[in-house]
Amino acid sequence: MLKHISLLVFVAGLAGMTAANANESAPAADPAALTQKLAACGACHGEKGDKPLAPDYPMLAGQHADYIAAALRHYRDGRRNHPIMSAQVKALQLTEEDILGLANYFSQQKSPLAIIHR
């Protein structure tokens, strides 16, 4: 329960941050809707984006926010095609605010991957 409350508080903060940075005419992100979209992403990538369902699914945790946002926009706009992701992005009807919220959330999660320096 505490996880869900902290996630909701985090999402509400992202929604406020997104609304503050967005054009004033753009609608503010709906925290409840963003929480549902995070859950949909988490079904395949893990709640924090750090435990993909299958080995060929990408790790989202710790990925750069601009990369995640660009990938989601490309799936949404049809410039990038993957049967599952294209269908998922279409079903979720991601707005620009959703994309920014999802990208920011996953980019701020700790990744189990590491860079090995030689």
Task: Kindly report, residue by residue over 15-28, the tens digit of the pLDDT.
Answer: 444 444 444 444 56
The residue among 98, 92, 91 whose CA lies nearest residue 31 is: 98
Q: Into how many domains does the chain fold?
A: 1
> Does residue 18 lie in a domain region?
yes
Asked whether 34 and 93 are in contact (CB, 8 A), the reply is no
Residue 28's pLDDT is what?
61
Exposure string of 55-80, with b = 16+ CB inside 10 Å and e = fewer, is: eeeebbbbbebeebbebbbbbbeeee
> Does residue 77 lie in a domain region?
yes
> Does residue 50 lie in a domain region?
yes
Report the alpha-carbon distance of residue 2 to residue 75 in Å, rounded.
33
> Does residue 113 lie in a domain region?
no
> Does residue 65 lie in a domain region?
yes
Residues 6+ apart with CB under 8 A from 111: 50, 59, 61, 62, 63
Q: Write the single-letter amino acid at 108.
A: Q
> Does residue 13 lie in a domain region?
yes
Report the alpha-carbon distance of residue 113 to residue 2 in Å, rounded.
26
For residue 82, give the CATH number of its domain: 1.10.760.10
Residue 30's pLDDT is what?
80
Low-confidence residues of the chain: pLDDT under 70: 1-29
Share of the chain above pLDDT 70, in %: 75
> Does residue 114 lie in a domain region?
no
Range of the domain at 41: 2-107
Look at residue 63 and give its three-state secondary structure. Answer: coil
> Does residue 94 lie in a domain region?
yes
pTM exceeding 0.75 = no
